[in-house]
Structure 1
Amino acid sequence: MEEIRRAVVAYYEHLPENNKKLARKTFNAMDKNGDGKISLREYVDYLKKNKAADFTHQSLFTVLDEDGNGSLDFEEAIVLYYIMQSGRAIICQSCKTFLAGAYFSCSQCFFNDDSGSTYEICCACYGGKNYTHHGDAIFCDNYTLLRQSRSVIQEAPIKKRRKVLKIHKKRLLVAEITVGLAGITVGAADLASKSFCSIM
């Protein structure tokens, strides 16, 4: 989680002033009683009201609460903003904890699932084989999957590559976003059948 916090500080420093004001305004809207901190109840109520119930998981609130005092101050709350904007709010499909660091994804679900859903699990669940997923699943850690995504884009015909990169450029809201491959069909079926995520 410390790496995410460092990324947040760097990201926040580069925000335009109007975005910083918006972040403070959002914090104040969450802080219903105006005491300068966000309780778990205020956190959950605000996110549910704003149709962001996916972010109400207790493990996410717990890791956001860096000092462990049961509430979020502004510096802790902007980590939530970053996580929401960057797509980093990923929960282990097995133990249901927030994935703050390295994790494993099923490459078949990542590359081929048209529904947009993926299957991620924490290192402990993957290493301990504490998960239930399809038997031929090929798991990759998030860094390897990101690097493989770049390789697939590079291998695509130039016209498709430009189209995909243009789509992704529009979607980037922050510096660190998990790269998806929406729109690339060339080679995707072959990728799912290969153990292309090997790093050894």
Structure 2
Amino acid sequence: MEELRLAARAYYNNSSSDLQNLAINFFRSMDANRDGWVSFQEFTRFLRHNGYNWVNPNMFSQLDTNNDGGLGFWEVLTFYYIIKTRAVWCRACGAQLHGLHFTCVACFDGGQNTFDLCARCYGGRQFRHHHRVFLDNYILLRSKRGISPGTNVNLNQWFRALELAVGVGNLLNVGSTLVGCSIM
């Protein structure tokens, strides 16, 4: 959660005044009694009335960094960042995915809704899906690094190239003191 707090503050500090005003107005819309902080009751009422039923109310305690029973602006800003950028859910167990997760390459590449899985469900093969190639979100992002905007490149090709590179790395390490290279 600390990384999310830092990211939210970084985006806020480097955004336009218009975007900063949106975040301030979001805070004000939660702070119903205008006392400068958001109580648990205000938080849950806001979730219910604004269609954020999918947010677990237990998130309140995770956001309340100083454990004072309420959320100040920076704590609400973290929540704002999470709901605007992190609305990714494991399609197997339903957990909200904040960090590392796995995405179906074919669904991602095809511009469809993505099929995302937490590491536990992907690692334990606790899911059903019609495609077989998944990459974690970091590797997926890195694999797109060389793609020019507007270029339609099949990410399955990138995955095969990555597998080939890993395989060559393993072959080169045979007989040496190095442990074989693997991302899996």
TM-score under structure 2 length normalisation: 0.69
- Give the CA deviation at 1:40: 4.4
CA distance 1:22–1:95, shift in 2 (3 Å): same
- Give the CA deviation at 1:45: 3.5
Letter in 2 for 1:137: R
- Paired residues of 2:121 and 2:127 also in contact (CA < 8 A): no
- Paired residues of 1:93 and 1:121 also in contact (CA < 8 A): yes
- Paired residues of 1:8 and 1:79 also in contact (CA < 8 A): yes
CA distance 1:122–1:67, shift in 2 (3 Å): farther
Give the aligned partner of residue 97 of structure 2. 99
Query: For structure 2, which runs of at least 5 residues remain unmatched after alignment?
Result: 167-181
Instruction: Find the residue that maps to 2:81 and give its secondary structure.
Output: helix
- Paired residues of 1:64 and 1:77 also in contact (CA < 8 A): yes
CA radius of gyration, larger in? 2
CA distance 1:23–1:136, shift in 2 (3 Å): closer
Letter in 2 for 1:2: E
Instruction: Find the residue that maps to 1:80 and give its secondary structure.
Output: helix
Separation (CA, whole Å) in 2 of partners of 1:95 and 1:59: 17
User: What are the superposed Cα offsets for residues 3-35 of structure 1, whole Å, 9 maximum, x if unpaired?
Assistant: 221122222222344543442232121122334
Aligned counterpart in structure 2 of residue 119 of structure 1, from 115, 118, 136: 115
RMSD of the TM alignment (CA)? Answer: 3.2
- Paired residues of 2:26 and 2:80 also in contact (CA < 8 A): no
Letter in 1 for 2:27: F
TM-score under structure 1 length normalisation: 0.64
Instruction: Find the residue that maps to 1:150 and give its secondary structure.
Output: coil
- Give the CA deviation at 1:141: 0.9
- Paired residues of 1:140 and 1:197 also in contact (CA < 8 A): no
Alignment pair present for 1:81 and 2:80: yes
CA distance 1:79–1:101, shift in 2 (3 Å): same
Give the aligned partner of residue 134 of structure 2. 139
Q: Say how many residue pairs are matched.
A: 165
User: What are the superposed Cα offsets for residues 52-85 of structure 1, whole Å, 9 maximum, x if unpaired?
Assistant: 555x234654543434566432211101222334
- Give the CA deviation at 1:122: 1.8
- Paired residues of 2:103 and 2:115 also in contact (CA < 8 A): yes
Q: Which has the higher contact order (CA 8 A, sep 6+)?
A: 1
Separation (CA, whole Å) in 2 of partners of 1:18 and 1:193: 38
